Amino acid sequence: MSFPVGINVPQDWLSEPGQMGRVRDFAARAEALGFDSLWVTESVTNATPNLDPIAILSYLAACTSKVRLGVAVMLLTLHNPIQLAKSVASLDYLSDGRLDLGLGIGQGKEAQFGYPADKRVGRFLEMLDVMKAFWTEERANHQGERWQLTDLPMQPKPVQRPHPPIWLGGRVRAVVRRAVQHGDGFVGAGMASSEDFMAQLGWLYEELAGVDPAGFRISKRVYLTVSDSPQADWERARAWFQAHYGNGALADRITLVGSPALLSAELNRLINAGAKHLLLNPLFDETEQMERLAAEVVPNLGAANG
């Protein structure tokens, strides 16, 4: 694949025991097809199956050898930063440096987890500083409002130096600013429409003014379905969003359903606007969709599009 494309790892299969073989086979096939990365999400209190991201990515690290492994996004403010720093470093070590770490704020669920619900942004930034201290310093030191660390060791360090790439995700301008100031990349949410994402790119390039943008990563999660029967598949897409988000009408605003030519054109709009990477998220028939995307859509993207 000439343009870098990742794919979401399906987990709806996991409503019954004994299904991890399907996940393993999907990951192995994605790697063989040339997808550059496998991605999962974090959703702790969820009505549909969704494994802990550190756990499933550790499993996928053992099932694959080259493909990168990403989470977009982990809800940082629902975690303890010291424990999460250890888990992330361990996963990067287990995968031999293949982890991409997407981070976001906890969707207003902090109180349910016993964490303060106020000053979420300040706590998010301090947590990120705490984790970076453990990853980059021989002995972590940090004196902040909530955490005070003095000469605390943590081994092993992440394989990637200074740490795994940090992608920040969200839908408001403040998140874009934080991504530039504190991260290595920005990942547009799947819940953002193409038009929303293009507006975010405008903010992003304003925030990057005076900064070399060459090393800054920009991706977008895209819900999509290659379809020979669009009317029927739009109904399936609405049912999927109803089951996962309680709002079937979301499909009409943020999902792409149609022919390979239509999907290729819409994805190239995102690329031409500034996306440097795409995270494709089929909604159903995931293995068949992955095969069709690899054969009929991805070859048309980016430089291959002329």
Q: Average the pLDDT over 283-302 and give the result.
A: 98
CATH code for the part of the protein at 5-222 = 3.20.20.30
Res. 305 pLDDT band, cuts 50 70 90: low
pLDDT in tens, 203-252: 999 999 988 778 899 999 999 999 999 999 999 999 999 999 999 999 99
Is residue 306 over pLDDT 60?
A: no
pLDDT in tens, 105-124: 977 788 888 888 888 999 99
Average pLDDT rounded to a whole number, residues 289-298:
98
Indicate whether 162 pLDDT > 70. Answer: yes
Domain coordinates in residue numbering, the chain: 5-222
The pLDDT of residue 102: 98
Which pairing describes strands 277-282 and 256-258: parallel, antiparallel, or unpaired? Answer: unpaired
pLDDT at 110: 86
